[in-house]
C-alpha cells in the first residue's frame, strides 16, 4: 500500500464512528443490566471502596452471539471490522483523545476530596494529561477505568473474529492463523472468567485515568495485540510439527505462570492466611507475600505475560519482525512499569520492601533479571 492509499484508508468514515458508538452503547447498557458477581475493590486511602459488577464474560458471549446471528441473517458483514481496520483505528484514536481531554477538564474542575475523584494536579499539563488527574472517574454511574479495559479486551476478540472471517472468505486460512486465533480466544475468555482479579491489579488500584490508560485500553489492546492476525492475512508461514508443539508449550507455561501468580496475589489480598502451593504463606512484615510465584520473582506475573505474548507471535514464524511488535513492546512496557512499581513500593513499604528484595532478589526472570 503506497502512502496516499494508506492516508486515505486512515480517514474515519461515519460508518466507523457508528460502529464505535454501537459497541460502546452496547457495552455500557449490557454491562449495567446483566447479572454478575459484584466484587469489592481494594480499600482506598479515605476508607472507601468501589464495587465492580464482573459480568464481562456474559457480555462478551452475548455480543458474539448477536453478531453471529446478525451475520447469518445478512444484516451485517462478518468482515465489516477487518474491511475498515485502519479507519476504525484512527477513529478510536480520535475518541481516546476526546475522552482524555474531557477527563482532564472534569478533573480540573472537581472539588471532590474523596480518594476516587480527588484531583492530583502537578502543574505540568502534559504529565497530568498523560497520567491522568483522578483515580476512578465515573460517567453515569459507570467506572470508566474498568469499563475501558473491558471494552479493549472485547474489541480485541471482535477484531480477531472479523480477521478470521476474512481469512476464511479469502480461502487463506492457515495453520498459523488457527493457532494464533486459538491462543487469543483462550487468553481472552480466561481474562473474563477471572475478571474479578482485575480489581486488584496495578492499573485499577494505583494508576489514574489519563491518556496512557485510555489509549492503551481502547487502541493499543484491540489494534496492537491483533497485529499478528492482520499479518497472517497476507502471509502463510510454514510450521513444522515440532514448532507447533513448542509454541503450545510456550503458551501453556506462560498461562500457568501468569494466571497462577495473579490468582495467588488476589487470593492473598482477600485472605492472607490462605495456603499457597499447599503450605501456609510466607509474609514479610505482615503485608507482602513471599510464597509461591511471589517467592520466585517480585513480578513473576510479568514473565507469564511476556511468554503469552511471545506465543501469540510464534505462529507467524521468524521471517518478519512485524508480528513480534507486541511482545517487544510489552517487554519495554513491563520493565518500565516494574521500575515504577518498585519505586512506589519502596516508598510505601520502606524497610519491609527492602527485606522482601533481599529475600526475593529477582525482578522478573529468575537468575537473569
Query: Could you count the other beta carbons within 10 Å of the beta carbon of residue 72?
Result: 10
- β-bridge pairing 283-284 and 51-54: unpaired
pLDDT mean over 290-310:
93
Task: Please state which of the ranges 58-62, 117-121, 219-223, 331-335 shows the lowest mean pLDDT.
Answer: 117-121
Q: Contact at 8 Å (CB) between 223 and 273?
A: no
Tens digits of residue pLDDT in 314-337: 999 988 999 999 999 999 989 998
Residue 217 confidence (pLDDT) above 60: yes
> Three cell numbers at 219?
487502541
DSSP codes, 293-317: GGGT-TTHHHHHHHHHHHHHHGGGT
State yes or no: pLDDT of 224 exceeds 60. Answer: yes
If we measure between CA atoms, which residue out of 89, 69, 96 comes closest to residue 159? 89
pLDDT band at 255 (very low <50, low <70, confident <90, very high): very high
Q: How does residue 271 score in pLDDT terms, banded at 50, 70 and 90?
A: confident
Nine-digit cell string for 1: 500500500
Q: Which helix (H) or strand (E) holds 284?
A: strand 283-284
Whole-structure pTM value: 0.88
Helices (H), the chain: 3-10, 14-33, 56-72, 80-83, 85-109, 125-131, 144-169, 175-193, 202-205, 211-215, 227-233, 241-270, 300-313, 325-349, 351-359
Give the residue carrying C-alpha cell 465515573: 138
Give me the sign of the Cα torsion angle 267, 268, 269, 273: positive
Query: Strand 142-143 to strand 283-284: parallel, antiparallel, or no bridges (unpaired)?
Result: unpaired
Q: 3-state class of 51 per DSSP?
A: strand
C-alpha cell at 45: 486511602
Q: Which residues of 246-269 are buried (b: 16+ CB within 10 A; e: fewer)?
A: ebeebbeebbebbbbbbebbbbbe
pLDDT, position 1: 54
At which residue does the C-alpha cell 519495554 appear? 332
How do strand 37-40 and strand 51-54 relate by DSSP bridges?
antiparallel
In the chain, pLDDT over 70 holds for what percent of residues?
A: 98
The pLDDT value given to residue 305: 93
d(CA 317, CA 149): 30
Q: Running DSSP on this structure, what letter comes out for residue 246?
A: H
**Rounded to 5 degrees, what are φ and ψ at 37?**
-65, 130
Q: What mean pLDDT is predicted for residues 64-71?
A: 94
CA–CA separation, 172 and 237 (whole Å)? 11
Residue with cell string 513480578: 299
What pLDDT score was predicted for residue 301? Answer: 92
- Dihedral (CA of 236, 317, 218, 2) sign: negative
Helix axes 300-313, 241-270, angle to 10 degrees: 150
Task: Look up residue 175 and give its three cell numbers.
Answer: 495453520
Amino acid at each position: 500500500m503506497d502512502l496516499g492509499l494508506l492516508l486515505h484508508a486512515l480517514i474515519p468514515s461515519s460508518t466507523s464512528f457508528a460502529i464505535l458508538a454501537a459497541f460502546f452503547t452496547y457495552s455500557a447498557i449490557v454491562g449495567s443490566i446483566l447479572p454478575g458477581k459484584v466484587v469489592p475493590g481494594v480499600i482506598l486511602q479515605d476508607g472507601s471502596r468501589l464495587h465492580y459488577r464482573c459480568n464481562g464474560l456474559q457480555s462478551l458471549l452475548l455480543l458474539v452471539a448477536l453478531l453471529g446471528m446478525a451475520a447469518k441473517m445478512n444484516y451485517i458483514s462478518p468482515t465489516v471490522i477487518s474491511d475498515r481496520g485502519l479507519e476504525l483505528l484512527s477513529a478510536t484514536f480520535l475518541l481516546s483523545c476526546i475522552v482524555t481531554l474531557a477527563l482532564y477538564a472534569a478533573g480540573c474542575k472537581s472539588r471532590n476530596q474523596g480518594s476516587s475523584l480527588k484531583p492530583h494536579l502537578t502543574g505540568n499539563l502534559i504529565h497530568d494529561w498523560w497520567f491522568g488527574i483522578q483515580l476512578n472517574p465515573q460517567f453515569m454511574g459507570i467506572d470508566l477505568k474498568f469499563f475501558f479495559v473491558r471494552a479493549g479486551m472485547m474489541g480485541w476478540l471482535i477484531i480477531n473474529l472479523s480477521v478470521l472471517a476474512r481469512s476464511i472468505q479469502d480461502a487463506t486460512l492457515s495453520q498459523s492463523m488457527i493457532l494464533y486465533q486459538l491462543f487469543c480466544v483462550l487468553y481472552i475468555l480466561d481474562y473474563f472468567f477471572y475478571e474479578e482479579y482485575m480489581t486488584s491489579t496495578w492499573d485499577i488500584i494505583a494508576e489514574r485515568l489519563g491518556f496512557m490508560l485510555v489509549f492503551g485500553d481502547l487502541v493499543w489492546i484491540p489494534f496492537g495485540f491483533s497485529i499478528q492476525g492482520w499479518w497472517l492475512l497476507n502471509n502463510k508461514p510454514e510450521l513444522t510439527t515440532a514448532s507447533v508443539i513448542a509454541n503450545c508449550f510456550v503458551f501453556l507455561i506462560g498461562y500457568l505462570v501468569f494466571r497462577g501468580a495473579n490468582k495467588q496475589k488476589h487470593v492473598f489480598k482477600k485472605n492472607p492466611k490462605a495456603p499457597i502451593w499447599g503450605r501456609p504463606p510466607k509474609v514479610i512484615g505482615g503485608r507482602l507475600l513471599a510464597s509461591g510465584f511471589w517467592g520466585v520473582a517480585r513480578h513473576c506475573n510479568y514473565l507469564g505475560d511476556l511468554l503469552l505474548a511471545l506465543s501469540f507471535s510464534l505462529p507467524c514464524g521468524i521471517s518478519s519482525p512485524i508480528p513480534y511488535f507486541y511482545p517487544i513492546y510489552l517487554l519495554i512496557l513491563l520493565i518500565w512499569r516494574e521500575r515504577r512499581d518498585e519505586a512506589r513500593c519502596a516508598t510505601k513499604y520502606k524497610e519491609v520492601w527492602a527485606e522482601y528484595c533481599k529475600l526475593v532478589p529477582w525482578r522478573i526472570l529468575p537468575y537473569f533479571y
